Structure 1
Amino acid sequence: MSARRAPLRGHCILSHGFESGPDATKVTALAQAAEALGWTHERPDYTDLDARREVSPLGDVGARIERLMQAATAAAARGPVVLAGSSLGAWIAGHVSQRVPVAALFLMAPPVRLDAAHPLQAAEVPLSVIHGWHDELIPAADVVEWTRARRGRLLLVDDDHRLGAHVAASAQAFAELLVRL
């Protein structure tokens, strides 16, 4: 008689925001939540690309997309993938979700448009968003409308863009999304 292995739950790719890093508090909390539920995870490091300001004020966004595309494509070949991201990492996750099959998206403080020519786009998959009422960069009303149009789950909290007072709430919301899959 052979031993049965538990089914693969899936893999989470957690993208940090601009001028942050893979060991940032929020993505670390998401990684811990995923691991506790039996999901594997990775946290790409975009810090080298953020430093390339000669490409744009936000660093090399195209290279960020390519890096996440490679990771997501490799992970999707092995099983279900969930993309999560904070700020610019959320924008990148949404963009990549349209090009690689993903099971769900989790977005923290998502910029619903980098500028008028670059709105946040995302695949039609289960969606969960957490955003601060007092976000100084991205108006909460814009995120409410964007999420409503996609019938996503939205948690608005009394916080600013960094969501520093709601790291645990972010991890809990992410865990709830993973449990629903």
Structure 2
Amino acid sequence: MKGTVILSHGLESGPQATKVSALAEVAVALGWAEVRPDYRDLDATRDPREIDARIARALAHAPAEGRVVFAGSSMGAFVSGPASVARPSAGLFLLALPTGIPGYPQPFRAAAVPIALVHGWRDEVCPVDAAIDFARERAAALHLVDDDHRLGAHVSECAELFRRFLSGLH
């Protein structure tokens, strides 16, 4: 086993969502274990204070030893960053990243690890300029596609980019 990928779904989604399921298939095909924490009980409150509980749950699903990659979409991307700071990780793969959450006092933060972002030019929830700024500051790989926040027209492309990302980790 190459390690474990912790796949975090978005706020109005679940662990069997299309994008995280596509990423899970890629991880398994490349010899990684995949874990998809379920945050729906926390998300039901729509309370930004539950973000800390989301981060704690992602960390609770990470093995104590071995390589870990955190990946997620939207709110799942947001919690993956702080999880990577708390638990040493091999990389971050982020879809539709919000760099801040209204009502949550902390901006997005991430460990100094390889990072790849996929973001839609027409993202109506998370402005593309904030993702571009974050990628520029971190020299992260940034893939911009003609899509909205859900990236629904680019699930296959997201999976292929994830395959390349995992394959490139040493």
Query: Is the aligned partner of 1:62 residue 2:49?
Result: no
Q: Per-residue CA shift, 1:40-88, capped at 9, x if unaligned?
A: 10100001111124xx1x572221111112112xx141x1100001000
CA contact (8 A) 1:49 1:59 kept: no
Letter aligned with residue 100 of structure 2: R
Counterpart CA distance in 2 for 1:120 and 1:59 is: 14
SS in 1 for 2:87: coil
- Matching residue within 17, 29, 47 for 1:36: 29
Letter aligned with residue 158 of structure 2: S
Counterpart CA distance in 1 for 2:113 and 2:96 is: 18
Q: Residue 15 of structure 1 corresponds to which residue in structure 2?
A: 8
The within-5 A match list for 1:26-175 is: 26-53=19-46, 56=47, 58=48, 60-72=50-62, 75-77=63-65, 79-115=66-102, 117-175=105-163
What's the C-alpha RMSD, in Å, of the aligned pairs?
1.3
Letter aligned with residue 60 of structure 2: Q
CA contact (8 A) 1:76 1:101 kept: no
Please identify the structure whose Cα radius of gyration is greater. 1
TM-score w.r.t. the length of structure 2 is: 0.95
- Percentage of identical aligned residues: 51
Structure 2 unaligned runs (5+)?
Answer: none
Runs of 4+ in structure 1 deviating by more than 2 angstroms, as ranges, are 115-118
Q: Residue 180 of structure 1 corresponds to which residue in structure 2?
A: 168
- Following superposition, the deviation at residue 19 of structure 1 comes to 1.6
TM-score w.r.t. the length of structure 1 is: 0.89
- Following superposition, the deviation at residue 125 of structure 1 comes to 0.1
Q: Residue 5 of structure 1 corresponds to which residue in structure 2?
A: none
Q: How many pairs were matched up?
A: 168
Letter aligned with residue 83 of structure 1: F
Letter aligned with residue 12 of structure 1: V
Counterpart CA distance in 1 for 2:67 and 2:106 is: 28
